[in-house]
Amino acid sequence: MKTSKMKWLWENMKGYHVIYIIAIFGAILYNVLQITIPYVTQHLIDLFLSGKHAAENLATRRDLFFGLILAMVGLTFFRTFIVYLDCMAFEKVSQATLYKIRNYLYDKIQRQDMKFYSTYRTGDLMTRLTGDLDAVRHMIAWVVRSVVESLALASSTMIYFFFMNWKLALCMLIIAPLIFLIIVLFKNNVAPKHRLLREKLAVLNTAAQENISGNRVVKAFAREPYEIEKFNTCNKDYAQTNKETALTWLNYFPFVETLANLMPVVLLAVGGLFLIHDEISMGQYAAFSGLIWAVANPMRNLGNIMNEFQRFNAASAKVMELYYSEPEIVDAPDAIEITGRLQGKIEFRNVSFGYEDSDIPVLHNISFTANPGETIAIMGETGCGKTSLIHLIPRFYEPTEGEILIDDVDIRKYKKHELRKSIGLATQDVLLYSDTIDGNIAYGNASLSLEDVRKYAKYSAADDFISKMPEGYDTIVGERGVGLSGGQKQRISLARALAVKPSILILDDTTSAVDLETEKIIQNELNCLDFACTKLIIAQRISSTRNADKILVLQDGHIIEAGTHEELIARGGYYHDVVMLQTGEEGH
Ligand code: DGT
Ligand code: MG
C-alpha cells in the first residue's frame, strides 16, 4: 500500500479539512486556557495573600482583586463553551468521514469480480465495514484530539514553568524521556496483539454469519450443540485475546505511574529548596503545584493513546486493503457502447478456462456458435464445467485461452456493465431478496409495471401460484427466498431473468426442481416470448433439451458431442445413453 494511513485518512476528510484544523486549534486553545486559572491564582496569592504587601493590596486594590476573580469565572465559562463546540466539530468530521468511507467501500465491494467474493469471507467484509471503520472514526474523533490536548496542555504548562523558573522546570522534565521509552516498548509489544485481536473478531463474525445463514442445515443435522460449541470457542478465543491486549498496558502502567508520581516529589524537594532560598515565590510554588497534573496526566495518558493508535493501525490496514482493491476484469479504455439491442449471436472460439485458485483446468478448447434466436442446451454430468462455461459469457471470469464473441465482437471490447445488462441469467443457486415477489421479479428493471411483472411470471409459469398467495405479488419473501418451495424460487428467478428482456437468456438448471408438467408449460412459453433472444439452457432432463437447436454434451470440460436430439441419439454416445435411461425410467 503506497499511501500512508494518516495521509489516506486526511484525504478522506476532504471537505472537512478547515473545520478539523479549526477544531484542533480549538483543542489547543482550551487546553492553554487551562493554565490561565493557576496563573491568575498565582497572582492572587502573590498580590493579596502571601506577598509582602498583601494586606495593603487587599485594602487598596480591591477592584483588581474582584476583577481577577471575575476573570477566572469568565474564562471557565468561555473554556467550557469552546470545549462544547470542539466536541461537536470532532464528532461531525469523524461521522462524515466514516459515512463517506463506508459508502465508498460498499461501492467497491459491489464492483468486485466473482473471485473477490470467493477470496473474502462475508464475516470478514462485515468486520471491515463495521468494527474496523469505527476504529478509523475513533482515530479522528478521539486519538488525534487526545494527542493535541496532551501536547497542548503539557507544552504550554512547561513553557509557563520555564518562564517562572527554568531550573525547576528542567528538573521536572528529567522524568519525561524515561516515560517515552516505556511507551515505545509498550507500542512494540501491543501492536501485534491488536492485529491478532482484529483477526479474531473477523473469525468470530464469520462464524456467526455462516451459522445464521446456514441455520437450516444446522437444524436438519441437529448440530446446534456443535455450532454453539464452535461459536463458544471463537468467542472465548476473542475474549482471551481482548483481555490479553487490554492487560498489556498493565505491565507498563506501574512504571509510568511511578514516574508520573515522582513529579510532585521532585517539586516538593527541589521546589521546597528553591522556596527556602527565595528562588521562587509562594505564588509560583502554588502555580507549579497546581499545574503539575497538566504535565503528569498527558504522560499517563500516552499508554491509552498508543493503545487506540495501534487499534487504528490494525483496523485501517484492513479497511485500506478493501479501499484500494481493484477488480481485475475491467473495461478496455476504448470499450464500445452497446447502443441498440444485441442480436444475440454467441461464439466460443477455442476457449479454455481454469480457476485461478486451483491448478485443475475446468474447460478445454470449447468452440461452438449459437445463432440469434437459437436455443442451445448444455448437458453433462455434475462438475463437468457447465456453470463455469456460462459464467464466462457475462465476464464473471476471463477465459485463460481463446475468445468469446457476441455479435462477432470479442466480449472484452464491450462495456462490462452493458454486456451484462443484455444477458438474463437465472443462476443455479437461486437467491431472492427479502422483498416482495413483485420487487424480486422487477429487480433488473425497476420501472416494470405490475402488468409486465405478471406477464413475465406467466412466461415462467409462476403467475398461478403467486396469485394464489394471500398477498399475491406483494407477498414478502424472506431472506434467500424463505417461504417458497425450490421450484417456486426457480420460477421467480426465471421471471426475473426474463424481465430484463435480454438478448441472451441463460438458464442454469432453472427447471430442475419443477415438475415435468410445469416444465413443459415453461418451455412452450419460452418459445413464444414477445422479444427475440438466444437461449442457453443447462439441463439434465431430455424433456428440456429435446427441442433445442443444438445440444452440447460436456465431459470433464470437453465438448464430447454436439448436435440435435435426433443426431445425438443416432450417434449412440453419452446423450443416447441418457435418453435411454430417462425415457426408460420415466416411461415416455
Ligand atoms: P453441476 O452444476 O453440479 O451440474 O456442475 P457444473 O457442470 O456446473 O460444474 P461447475 O462448472 O460448477 O464446476 C466445474 C469444476 O470447477 C468443478 O470441478 C468445480 C470447480 N469449481 C467450480 N466453481 C469453482 C470456484 O469458484 N473456484 C474453484 N477453484 N473451482 C471451482
Ligand atoms: Mg452447475
Partners of 401 in the beta sheet?
352
Q: Are strands 558-563 and 550-555 parallel, antiparallel or unpaired?
A: antiparallel
Res 481: pLDDT:
60
- Residues 497 and 549 reside in one and the same domain: no
108-132 per-residue burial string, b: 16 or more CB within 10 A, e: under 16: bbeebbebbeeebbebbbbbbbebb
Residue 47 in domain: yes
- Residues 68 and 139 reside in one and the same domain: yes
**Which of 13-17, 33-37, 66-70, 307-311 is predicted with the least confidence, judged by mean pLDDT?**
33-37
How many whole angstroms separate alpha carbon 236 and alpha carbon 241? 9
pLDDT of 479 strictly over 80:
no
User: Does ligand 1 come within 6 angstroms of the Cβ of 357?
Assistant: yes
Distance 301 CA to ligand 1 centre (A): 55
The pLDDT confidence band at residue 587, using thresholds 50, 70 and 90, is very low
What is the strand order of the sheet 409-410 is part of?
A: 361-370, 346-354, 401-406, 409-410
Domain boundary among 323, 349, 364: 323
**Beta carbons within 8 Å of 513's beta carbon, 6+ residues apart:** 485, 486, 487, 489, 490
User: Does ligand 1 come within 6 angstroms of the Cβ of 359?
Assistant: no
**What is the percent of the chain where pLDDT is above 90?**
60
Q: Which residue among 386, 389, 509 is best mutated to probe the pocket of ligand 1, counting the most ligand atoms within 8 A of its Cβ?
A: 386
Res 287: pLDDT:
85
**Beta carbons within 8 Å of 19's beta carbon, 6+ residues apart:** 89, 92, 93
- Residues 177 and 314 reside in one and the same domain: yes
Which amino acid type is present at position 464? D
- Residues 157 and 26 reside in one and the same domain: yes
pLDDT of 342 strictly over 50:
yes
Pair 287, 168: CB distance under 8 Å:
no
Q: Is 311 left (phi over 0), alpha (psi -120 to 50) or beta?
A: alpha
Q: How confident is the model over 84-94, as a mean pLDDT?
A: 95
Q: Which residue among 352, 362, 389 is best mutated to probe the pocket of ligand 1, counting the most ligand atoms within 8 A of its Cβ?
A: 362
- Residues 125 and 78 reside in one and the same domain: yes
Give, rounded to a whole angstrom, the gap between the first and last alpha carbons of the chain: 63
Residue 512 in domain: no
pLDDT of 550 strictly over 90:
yes
How many whole angstroms separate alpha carbon 406 and alpha carbon 341? 12
- Residues 133 and 153 reside in one and the same domain: yes
How many whole angstroms separate alpha carbon 325 and alpha carbon 1? 10
pLDDT of 309 strictly over 70:
yes
pLDDT of 2 strictly over 60:
no
Query: In whole angstroms, how far apart are CA 366 and each of 175, 247, 556?
Result: 75, 60, 11
Q: How confident is the model over 268-292, as a mean pLDDT?
A: 89
Per-residue pLDDT of 426-451, as tens digits, reads: 988 888 888 899 999 999 888 899 99
- What would the grid cell of residue 85 be? 463546540
Residue with CA closest to ligand 1 atom 11:
385
User: Does ligand 1 come within 6 angstroms of the Cβ of 157?
Assistant: no
**Closest ligand (CA of 540):** 1
Distance 419 CA to ligand 2 centre (A): 22
**What is the percent of the chain where pLDDT is above 70?**
98
- What would the grid cell of residue 131 be? 468494527
Q: Is the dihedral of CA 211, 212, 213, 217 positive or negative?
A: positive
Distance 270 CA to ligand 2 centre (A): 83
Query: Which domain CATH number covers 551?
Result: 3.40.50.300
**Which of 32-46, 185-199, 399-413 is predicted with the least confidence, judged by mean pLDDT?**
32-46
What single-letter DSSP state applies at residue 476? Answer: B
Radius of gyration of the chain (CA): 36
Q: How confident is the model over 1-30, as a mean pLDDT?
A: 91
Q: How confident is the model over 47-71, as a mean pLDDT?
A: 83
- Number of other residues whose CB lies within 10 A of the CB of residue 96: 17
Res 482: pLDDT:
63
- Residues 86 and 188 reside in one and the same domain: yes
**Which of 52-61, 217-226, 365-374, 559-568 is predicted with the least confidence, judged by mean pLDDT?**
52-61
Residue 284: closest CA among 293, 266, 272, 295: 272
Res 480: pLDDT:
60
The pLDDT confidence band at residue 107, using thresholds 50, 70 and 90, is very high
User: Does ligand 1 come within 6 angstroms of the Cβ of 583?
Assistant: no
**Is the model more confident about 44 or about 342?**
342
Residue 154 in domain: yes
Partners of 553 in the beta sheet?
379, 561
Res 362: pLDDT:
93
- Residues 244 and 142 reside in one and the same domain: yes
Domain boundary among 290, 323, 356: 323
Structural domain of residue 389, as residue ranges?
329-422+522-588
What single-letter DSSP state applies at residue 337? Answer: P
Domain boundary among 323, 344, 371: 323
Distance 380 CA to ligand 2 centre (A): 10
- Residues 333 and 454 reside in one and the same domain: no
Residue 269 in domain: yes
Pair 390, 506: CB distance under 8 Å:
yes
Question: Cell numbers 441472451 label which residue?
Answer: 504
Distance 388 CA to ligand 2 centre (A): 7
The pLDDT confidence band at residue 555, using thresholds 50, 70 and 90, is very high
Residue 80 in domain: yes
- What would the grid cell of residue 462 be? 409462476
Q: How many distinct structural domains can be found in the chain? A: 3
Per-residue pLDDT of 352-405, as tens digits, reads: 999 988 888 999 999 999 999 999 999 999 999 999 999 999 999 999 999 999
Question: What pTM did the predictor assign?
Answer: 0.82
Res 586: pLDDT:
43
- Residues 292 and 179 reside in one and the same domain: yes
Res 92: pLDDT:
95
Q: How confident is the model over 323-332, as a mean pLDDT?
A: 90
Residue 508 in domain: no
Res 406: pLDDT:
94
Pair 399, 352: CB distance under 8 Å:
yes
- Residues 417 and 434 reside in one and the same domain: no
- Residues 396 and 440 reside in one and the same domain: no
DSSP-derived 3-state class of residue 350: strand
Residue 509 in domain: no
Res 93: pLDDT:
96
Residue 221 in domain: yes
User: Does ligand 1 come within 6 angstroms of the Cβ of 382?
Assistant: yes
